Amino acid sequence: MPRRLPPLTTLPAFDAAARHLSFTKAAAELNLTHGAISRAVRNLEERLGIRLFERGTRSVRLTPAGAAYAAEIGAALDRIGAATIVATAPRSAGVLTVSTSDGFAGRWLVPRLYRFHRENRDVDVRLSTSGVLADFIRDGIDIAIRYGAGGYEGVVSELLAEEEVSPVCSPELLKGEHPLRSPSDLKYHTLIHDNFRIDWATWLQHAGVDGINPNSGVRFDSATYAVEAAVHSEGVLLGRSALVSADLAAGRLVRPFGLALKSRSKYYVVYPDGALRQRKVKAFRDWLFSEMAAG
């Protein structure tokens, strides 16, 4: 049975207008005129026999039917875009673009990346570490390592690792005038903060420590700089297990106390459906899991 489809050329115009709630912005995105967007949407409405937009003097808004249709059409166009990337990409070699956070790239991925290159010399890895959540199709991303609660829509996501948070410091802070022997000794040391969800107030509360200002100390937007500050004996950091594992293994950092808090956020490997048909993506995905399992 043939599919019942609307005029396919109208769908990008409708999708853009629905996302922007503006025919003018949709026209700018698609390099068309305002009139072309308007005609495409009206043509689609006539073929469907429903109103997709309520039109005002200077604005438009989706009708309930339009909002429901826009969600489905947007998802369908995303899948088509992802399938196109997969279909047209080289299967065995080329550039692999990986999206991840600055902290994960600097503290975990980059120090290990030479091992991936050694086994996959035909793949050139490009890292995108923008603080903005990357879009696979728009930004040309092949695979991502995302940190959060999971449940990413329209893509495949696999749990890579859970994470614990505990104080870490240079071994130098275990000696001297005020050695770190118990959590109460933190009052003699600088607290290092990054932009992580578990903060010092939470950890100190779980440790049963009073009399320490949890907001004192130095603060970094970058987890990479926060870890470097701890390595150089500038204070004590709430270290995220994945980001301090190499420094702990090398002895540059130590855990002075046993209390670790489990984070609700986790690391996920995320990629478009069908992306593993590309050898470079599958190779990198498999390597990530192997490296994480090795510790």
E strand or H helix at 219:
strand 218-219
- If one compares 88 and 106, the residue with the highest pLDDT of the two is 106
Identity of the highest mean pLDDT range in 92-106, 157-171, 195-209: 157-171
Averaged pLDDT for residues 98-123:
91
What is the chain's mean pLDDT, rounded?
A: 88
Identity of the highest mean pLDDT range in 147-156, 170-179, 193-202: 170-179
Does the structure show a pLDDT above 80 at 65? yes
- If one compares 92 and 111, the residue with the highest pLDDT of the two is 111
Cα distances (angstroms) measured from residue 201 to each of 147, 207, 211, 215, 216: 22, 10, 11, 8, 10
Does the structure show a pLDDT above 70 at 99? yes
pLDDT of residue 91: 47
C-alpha–C-alpha distance, residues 71 and 86, integer Å: 23
Cα distances (angstroms) measured from residue 293 to each of 106, 287, 288, 290: 19, 10, 9, 5
pLDDT of residue 267: 93
pLDDT of residue 78: 78
Does the structure show a pLDDT above 80 at 201? yes
Judge whether 134 and 252 are in contact, CB under 8 Å: no
Indicate the angle between helix axes 11-20 and 34-48, nearest 10 degrees: 110
Does the structure show a pLDDT above 80 at 136? yes
Does the structure show a pLDDT above 80 at 116? yes
Least confident span in 59-63, 82-86, 155-159: 82-86
Judge whether 98 and 145 are in contact, CB under 8 Å: yes
Averaged pLDDT for residues 243-262:
92
Residue 45 three-state SS: helix
Averaged pLDDT for residues 238-249:
90
Among residues 143, 178, 74, the alpha carbon closest in space to that of 289 is found at: 143
Cα distances (angstroms) measured from residue 122 to each of 119, 141, 279, 280: 9, 18, 11, 9
pLDDT of residue 131: 62
Averaged pLDDT for residues 155-168:
93
C-alpha–C-alpha distance, residues 76 and 197, integer Å: 34
Please give the structure tokens belonging to residue 164: 């614990």
Does the structure show a pLDDT above 50 at 118? yes
Backbone angles phi and psi of 124, in degrees to 5 = -100, 115
C-alpha–C-alpha distance, residues 236 and 1, integer Å: 67
pLDDT of residue 197: 67
The one-character DSSP state at 114 is: H
C-alpha–C-alpha distance, residues 295 and 285, integer Å: 16
Residue 58's CB is within 10 A of a number of other CB atoms, namely: 7
C-alpha–C-alpha distance, residues 23 and 53, integer Å: 11
C-alpha–C-alpha distance, residues 200 and 212, integer Å: 10
pLDDT of residue 92: 41
Averaged pLDDT for residues 192-198:
80
pLDDT of residue 213: 93
* pLDDT tier, 271 (very low <50, low <70, confident <90, very high otherwise): very high
